[in-house]
């Protein structure tokens, strides 16, 4: 067999076992593109016509992972449902050819195996996963407003059952190596050096000359043997009899689907991929005529044309764009200097979170506090975060112990003598921060970047406390650090391009998304978020019920209501932010005073047991809303939503008008990643594009008349009406 493939390195051993190693050229990660699909077709054609091949093993030639799925730049070019269905049909055809091979196929999965990559692995007879925290298997198409289009909605439920498959399909959940074996998604797990032996074990019966039945994708139990197994207490299901009943009987599957449809019901309108996935899964669960694959193709084509998909795909590309150096710094001749050692000043919630995450990502970390007692408390928080990382299989217990042990904890400034970057995370008071930075200038090396994690205070004001104010920048992480993707990098007029470039690289190595912003009150996210929260508190002060305010915004698509969010952040913290941002409002606001009153009474939200709501179990369980002392006021859900959301939209436009960030997509990305702004809308500016800038301006003008001058439309929004009308005309 003479194969010359651009993306596969193919060889065959003395047993007739062919190994195809995928290594896509000019890509950091393997993806399906036209060239790979062509090579796979050629490879399958050769195997189909060569009886001397006894088994086919697929491996990755990249350390980054097995296969990350389809090239999304190709997906973005599809401009019709028909074109999308054709792509599905081609992919489904290749996967069905793999499944139909007369020989056993094995996928050796290291690192990421996502989307089309997992659909490819599902078509193989066996899946072997490498025992490594980096090994992740998933079908994240729902995060792009799509469904798996190469058989994922058909094969996965049949293989692992509905109770394991639906969370992966409907939420994009990714499973690690051990869980993959537990749910039946993988057949074996081993260390990297044990792969050859494990494959030999799997293929032994096939290579012994004793034929076995061809692989069938129907992994359901036959009714008779399964019932017999129940009496013997051996169902073969990971969750015993109940699991078997739910996953392998028609009645159980019906119940699981009904329950799931109720769970996703409220989100189905905003995320049409959810009901589409259920439709495709239901069509194929018991059908053997191929109807399920046809429904999968049809649903994929419909989803491709939805606004939700286009918005979510746009956000994906925006994340990629934000990670590129040239987006933020241009004309830099030298490569950004490498940050190796990070000092963290302050072991509170944010400081501990930053130290934990930087350590996990391989940076040397020095944590400093002003006293041994505070230092011990900070280390305790870090240990708790590592424990959580272990539970979620993000790191092994041995690696966690090593990294915790490598964190230098000190009260001595001398430990900062060789740091490359210091991140200050102390109390949100200008005088305290300025005092810390005076010490940092004294004890840190000249090349070290001095960054503040402040959420709202002026970086310029902090920098005025030292001789070289150009060294001071903002590096604003969001809480909780290990979960939030966004990091704002705040530059002043004195900031150096090389420092900003180094921080962009640092944020990328943390696995997060950088957003470079000007030094404006609240930067981007908090500045835009504050009017949103302010309007919610104003409505509360007017007597609108707490639950109505939060319910209206949850229905809009926010992950939680604004008053619930304030309780989560802490009303004491929110009060300080309100003080910093009050000057931006066109009218005096009652928000700061109300939050200070609540904080002074000890009612600061979840961490105290009471805020706008009452909490139990250490703040974990939310109870009823605290009675509102204002005279009750009834307002429609639409009016509540519009008043709050339009304040946010108007402030986003003002940020663009003032040049806080130069482009609208930066605002959208920041608000989605930093606040959870309804992703299916793509961000506040994208939402206006979809619904019309004229509509937003008209509603603002209405509320300006009935509620106050704070709703005066920004000039930027008004200008967009004419601009987008011209574009539509063209």
Distance CA 164, CA 238 (A): 10
Measured over the CA atoms of residue 148, residue 149, residue 150 and residue 156, the dihedral's sign is positive
Q: Of the residues 220, 455, 458, 608, which is catalytic?
A: 455
In what order do the strands lie in the sheet containing 136-138? Answer: 65-67, 112-114, 136-138, 174-175
Helix (H, G, I), strand (E, B) or coil at 339: coil
First to last CA, the chain: 56
Helices 562-569, 546-556: axis angle to 10 degrees equals 100
Q: Of 576, 474, 458, nearest to 517 (Cα)?
A: 474
Which pairing describes strands 136-138 and 112-114: parallel, antiparallel, or unpaired?
A: parallel
Half-sphere exposure of 113 (CA within 13 A, CB side): 31
Cα separation, 658 vs 598, whole angstroms: 34
Task: Name the DSSP letter for residue 627.
Answer: P
Q: Report how far residue 674's alpha carbon sits from residue 677's, in angstroms, rounded to the nearest whole number.
A: 8
Look up residue 466 and give its DSSP letter: S
Radius of gyration of the chain (CA): 28
Q: Helix, strand, coil shares of the chain as percentages rounded to 5?
A: 55, 15, 35
How far, in Å, CA of 43 to CA of 410, rounded?
Answer: 59
Angle 399-405-409 from CA coordinates, rounded to 5°: 140
Tokens at 130, concatenated: 């490498």
Please, what is the angle between helix 684-691 and helix 664-675, to 10°? 120
- Kindly state the tokens that stand for 150: 């190469």
Alpha-carbon gap, residue 696 to 262, rounded angstroms: 33
* Residue 513, C-beta contacts closer than 8 angstroms, at least 6 positions apart: 319, 322, 323, 485, 486, 487, 507, 669, 673
Confirm whether 476 is a catalytic residue: yes
Q: Are 705 and 643 in contact (CB under 8 A)?
A: no
Residue of 526, 580, 608, 714 with catalytic role: 526
Residue whose pair of structure tokens reads 């309780």 in the numeric block? 567
- Among residues 309, 356, 476, 540, the one annotated as catalytic is 476
> Is 240 in contact with 113 (CB distance < 8 Å)?
no
- Annotated catalytic residue 526: yes
Residue of 141, 488, 535, 651 with catalytic role: 488
Distances from the Cα of 288 to the Cα of 158, 189, 271, 612, angstroms: 12, 31, 29, 54
Task: Give yes or no: 603 in active site.
Answer: no
CA 307 from centre of chain: 20
The residues that are catalytic are 455, 476, 488, 526
């Amino acid at each position: 067999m003479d194969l010359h493939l651009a993306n596969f390195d193919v060889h065959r051993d003395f047993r007739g076992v062919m190994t195809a190693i995928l290594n896509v050229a000019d890509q950091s990660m393997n993806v399906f593109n036209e060239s790979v699909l062509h090579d796979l077709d050629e490879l399958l054609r050769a195997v189909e016509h060569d009886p001397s091949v006894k088994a086919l093993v697929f491996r990755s030639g990249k350390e980054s992972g097995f296969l990350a799925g389809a090239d999304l730049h190709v997906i973005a070019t599809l401009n019709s449902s028909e074109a999308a269905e054709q792509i599905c049909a081609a992919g489904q055809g290749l996967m069905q050819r793999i499944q139909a091979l007369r020989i056993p196929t094995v996928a050796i999965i290291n690192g990421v195996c996502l989307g089309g990559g997992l659909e490819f692995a599902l078509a193989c007879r066996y899946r072997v996963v490498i025992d490594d925290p980096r090994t992740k298997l998933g079908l994240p198409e729902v995060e792009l407003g799509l469904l798996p289009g190469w058989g994922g909605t058909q094969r996965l439920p049949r293989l692992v059952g509905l109770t394991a498959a639906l969370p992966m399909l409907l939420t994009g959940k990714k499973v690690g190596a051990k869980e993959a074996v537990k749910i039946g998604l993988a057949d074996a797990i081993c260390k990297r050096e044990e792969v050859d032996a494990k494959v030999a074990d799997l293929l032994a019966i096939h290579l012994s000359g004793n034929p076995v039945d061809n692989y069938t994708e129907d992994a359901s139990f036959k009714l008779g043997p399964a019932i017999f197994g129940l009496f013997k207490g051996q169902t073969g299901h990971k969750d015993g009899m109940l699991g078997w009943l739910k996953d392998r009987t028609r009645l159980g599957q019906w119940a699981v689907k009904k329950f799931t449809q109720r769970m996703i019901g409220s989100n189905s309108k905003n995320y049409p991929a959810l009901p589409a996935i259920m439709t495709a899964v239901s069509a194929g669960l018991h059908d053997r005529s191929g109807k399920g694959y046809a429904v999968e193709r049809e649903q994929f084509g419909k989803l491709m044309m939805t606004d939700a998909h286009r918005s979510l795909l746009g956000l994906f590309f925006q994340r990629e764009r934000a990670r590129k150096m040239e987006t933020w710094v241009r004309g830099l001749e030298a490569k950004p200097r490498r940050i190796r050692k990070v000092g963290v000043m302050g072991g509170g919630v944010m400081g501990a979170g930053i130290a934990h995450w930087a350590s996990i990502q391989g940076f040397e970390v020095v944590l400093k506090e002003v006293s041994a007692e505070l230092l011990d408390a900070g280390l305790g928080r870090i240990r708790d975060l590592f424990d959580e990382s272990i539970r979620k299989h993000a790191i092994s217990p041995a690696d966690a112990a090593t990294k915790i042990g490598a964190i230098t904890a000190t009260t001595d400034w001398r430990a900062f003598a060789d740091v490359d970057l210091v991140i200050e995370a102390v109390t949100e008071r200008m005088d305290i921060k300025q005092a810390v930075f005076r010490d940092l200038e004294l004890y840190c090396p000249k090349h070290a970047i001095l960054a503040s994690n402040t959420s709202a205070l002026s970086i310029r004001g902090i920098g005025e406390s030292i001789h070289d104010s150009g060294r001071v920048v903002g590096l604003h992480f969001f809480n909780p650090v290990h979960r939030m993707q966004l990091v704002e990098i705040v530059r002043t007029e004195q900031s150096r391009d090389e420092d900003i470039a180094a921080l962009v690289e640092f944020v990328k190595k943390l696995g997060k998304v950088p957003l470079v912003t000007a030094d404006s009150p609240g930067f981007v996210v908090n500045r835009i978020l504050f009017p949103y929260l302010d309007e919610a508190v104003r409505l509360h002060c007017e007597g609108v019920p707490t639950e109505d305010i939060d319910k209206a915004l949850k229905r809009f698509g926010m992950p939680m209501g604004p008053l619930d969010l304030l309780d989560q952040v802490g009303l004491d913290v929110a009060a300080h932010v309100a003080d910093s941002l009050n000057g931006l409002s066109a009218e005096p606001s009652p928000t700061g005073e109300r939050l200070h009153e609540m904080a002074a009474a000890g009612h600061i939200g979840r961490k105290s047991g009471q805020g706008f709501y009452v909490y139990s179990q250490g703040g974990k369980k939310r109870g009823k809303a605290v009675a509102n002392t204002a005279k009750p006021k009834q307002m429609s859900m639409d009016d509540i939503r519009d008043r709050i959301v339009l304040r946010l939209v108007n402030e986003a436009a003002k940020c663009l008008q003032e040049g806080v960030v130069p482009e609208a997509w930066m605002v959208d990305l920041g608000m989605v990643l930093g606040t959870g702004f309804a992703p299916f809308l793509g961000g506040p500016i994208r939402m206006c594009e979809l619904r019309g800038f004229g509509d937003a301006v008209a509603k603002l003008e209405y509320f300006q008349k009935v509620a106050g001058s704070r709703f005066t439309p920004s000039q930027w929004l008004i200008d967009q009406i004419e601009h987008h009308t011209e574009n539509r005309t063209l």
